C-alpha cells in the first residue's frame, strides 16, 4: 500500500488531500508512523520525531492514528487478494505477498491479474497500491519498492541480472545498515558485485549467512509463502509509557494491564505457555529482557502478572523506565481436560475469567476490566508490526 495510514486519512478527510501530513500515536513521545508523499518530499520519514518533522516541514499536519480503521481496511485488502489467489501471505498491515502461479491464467496473463488487483483496490478501498512482480519474494518486493507510488513493475527472470548489476545492496530486502557497512568495507556496494563475490570470502565474514547473501546478490531467495498462519512462538504486548516511571506501584500497575492483554489474547485463541518474559527499556533506550519458566502451562492473567512481578523484584533498576513488555512463550494448545484435584479457588478464578471474557467478546474489549488498570492512559499508540488481520496476531488495536 502507498503511504497507507496517511492515504486512509486523506481519503476520509478531503481537507488533508494534497497536504503534507504525518500520522502519529497519541502520546507526547510518539514518532511518525507514516507520512504522506507530500511530506516525504521535505524529508519526513517513518520513525522520525514530530519535532524533527516540524523543522523539516513547518506546515506539516499531524494526525493521530486510528488503528481500528487501518485494521478494517487491511481486512478488506485481504478479502480482495483472496479473490485472485488462495496463496496469500499477509506480511504486515500494509503489505501482502501473492503467489499467482496457479491463478494468473484466469485473467489471461500475470500482468493483467496484477493490474486488475490495482484497479480493484483503488475502486473498493479508495486508496492506491503498488504492485511488484518477480520470480520470488525478494525480486517482487524490490519491484514494488522501485515502482512506488501507485505503480506496477514486473522484473522477470530474464531481467534480474541486468537490474541487479548496478543496484545498491541496501535496496535489497533484509540487508540493513550494519550488513551494508560490512559489505562496503569488503568493497561490495552493488548486487552484481555481491553475486560475483567468492562464497568462501562471504562465509568467512558472515558465516552461514554468506551463502544467502550471495544468492540474494544474484536475485535468488528460497522462501515459500506462509499461506496458513503458523502456530505462534510467543504472544506479547509492550507499551511506550506517556512519561518515565520508576515507582514500584506504577510499574506493577502497568504490568497488570499488559498481563491482562496477553492472557486475554492467549485464551481467545486457545493457547497456553510456560515461559514469561519481561522486557524493560530505560530512558536512555538501553533494553534488556529477563524470563522465567513456570512448572505448568497457563494463560491466566493472574499467573502471568505474578510471574512478571517476581521477575521485576529480582532486578535492580538503575534508571527510570520508558517501555515495558510482557510475552508468553513455549506455547501449547489449551486442552479441555481439567486437573483431577483442582483447587476450589482456581476453579472460581477460571469461571470468573471465562465470564469476563464472554462479556468483553460481546460488548468490546475492556468493557469489564481490573479496577487498578482503568485509570491508566490508554490512548491510541503505534500499531504493532506483528499485527495481522486474522489469527492470534490480530491483537486489540
* Catalytic residue chosen out of the listed positions 28, 78, 89, 95: 95
| Active-site annotation holds for 78 | no
Q: At CA 365, angle to CA 26 and CA 242, rounded to 5? A: 25
Question: What are φ and ψ of residue 291, in 5° steps?
Answer: -140, 165
Grid cell at residue 165: 548489476
Residues with Cβ within 8 Å of 142's Cβ and at least 6 positions away in sequence, in order, are 132, 134, 155, 163, 167, 171, 172, 173
DSSP character for 41?
A: T
Tell me if residue 219 falls in helix, strand or coil: coil
For 292-317, letters b (16+ CB in 10 Å) and e give eebeebbbbbbbbbbbbbebbeeeee
Alpha helices, H only, the chain? 4-12, 37-40, 50-56, 67-84, 110-125, 137-147, 157-165, 177-185, 191-196, 199-206, 209-217, 248-268, 301-313, 344-363
Distance, in Å, from the CA atom of 308 to the CA atom of 107, rounded to the nearest integer, reads: 54
Q: If phi over 0 gives left and psi between -120 and 50 gives alpha, with beta otherwise, what is residue 332?
A: beta
Torsion of CA 20, 383, 239, 232, to 10 degrees: -160
Grid cell at residue 185: 568495507
CA distances from 270 to 15, 96, 278 (A): 45, 26, 22
CA distances from 137 to 85, 106, 132, 143, 166 (A): 16, 22, 9, 10, 20
Distance, in Å, from the CA atom of 21 to the CA atom of 64, rounded to the nearest integer, reads: 10
* Active-site residue list: 95
Amino acid at each position: 500500500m502507498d503511504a497507507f495510514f496517511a492515504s486512509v486519512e486523506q481519503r476520509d478527510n478531503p481537507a488533508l488531500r494534497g497536504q503534507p501530513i504525518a500520522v502519529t500515536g497519541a502520546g507526547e513521545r510518539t514518532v511518525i508512523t507514516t507520512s504522506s508523499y507530500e511530506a516525504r518530499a521535505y524529508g519526513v520519514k517513518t520513525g522520525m520525531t514530530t519535532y524533527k518533522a516540524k523543522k523539516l516541514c513547518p506546515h506539516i499536519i499531524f494526525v493521530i492514528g486510528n488503528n481500528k480503521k487501518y485494521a478494517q481496511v487491511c481486512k478488506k485488502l485481504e478479502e480482495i487478494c483472496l479473490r485472485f489467489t488462495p496463496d496469500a501471505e499477509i506480511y504486515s498491515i500494509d503489505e501482502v505477498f501473492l503467489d499467482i502461479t496457479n491463478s494468473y491464467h484466469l485473467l489471461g496473463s500475470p500482468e493483467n491479474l496484477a493490474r486488475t488487483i490495482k484497479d480493484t483496490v483503488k475502486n473498493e478501498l479508495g486508496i492506491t497500491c503498488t504492485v511488484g512482480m518477480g520470480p520470488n519474494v525478494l525480486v517482487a518486493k524490490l519491484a514494488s519498492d522501485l515502482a512506488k507510488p501507485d505503480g506496477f513493475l514486473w522484473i522477470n527472470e530474464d531481467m534480474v541480472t541486468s537490474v541487479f548489476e548496478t543496484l545498491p545492496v541496501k535496496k535489497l530486502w533484509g540487508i540493513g545498515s550494519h550488513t551494508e557497512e560490512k559489505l562496503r568495507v569488503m568493497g561490495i556496494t552493488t548486487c552484481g558485485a555481491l553475486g560475483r563475490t567468492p562464497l568462501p570470502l562471504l562465509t568467512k565474514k558472515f558465516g552461514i549467512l554468506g551463502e544467502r547473501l550471495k544468492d540474494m546478490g544474484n536475485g535468488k531467495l528460497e522462501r515459500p509463502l506462509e499461506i496458513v498462519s503458523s502456530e505462534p512462538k510467543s504472544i506479547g504486548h509492550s507499551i511506550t509509557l506517556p512519561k518515565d516511571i520508576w515507582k514500584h506501584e506504577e510499574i506493577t500497575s502497568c504490568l497488570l494491564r499488559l498481563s491482562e492483554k496477553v492472557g486475554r489474547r492467549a485464551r481467545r485463541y486457545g493457547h497456553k505457555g510456560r515461559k514469561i518474559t519481561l522486557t524493560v527499556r530505560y530512558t536512555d533506550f538501553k533494553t534488556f529482557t529477563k524470563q522465567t519458566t513456570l512448572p505448568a502451562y497457563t494463560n491466566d492473567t493472574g499467573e502471568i502478572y505474578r510471574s512478571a512481578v517476581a521477575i521485576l523484584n529480582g532486578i535492580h533498576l538503575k534508571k527510570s523506565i520508558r517501555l515495558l513488555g510482557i510475552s508468553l512463550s513455549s506455547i501449547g494448545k489449551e486442552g479441555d481436560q481439567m486437573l483431577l484435584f483442582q483447587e476450589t479457588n482456581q476453579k472460581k478464578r477460571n469461571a470468573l475469567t471465562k465470564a469476563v471474557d464472554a462479556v468483553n467478546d460481546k460488548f468490546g474489549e475492556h468493557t469489564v476490566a481490573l479496577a487498578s488498570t482503568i485509570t491508566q492512559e490508554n490512548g491510541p499508540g503505534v500499531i504493532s508490526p506483528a499485527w495481522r488481520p486474522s489469527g492470534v496476531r490480530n491483537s486489540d488495536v
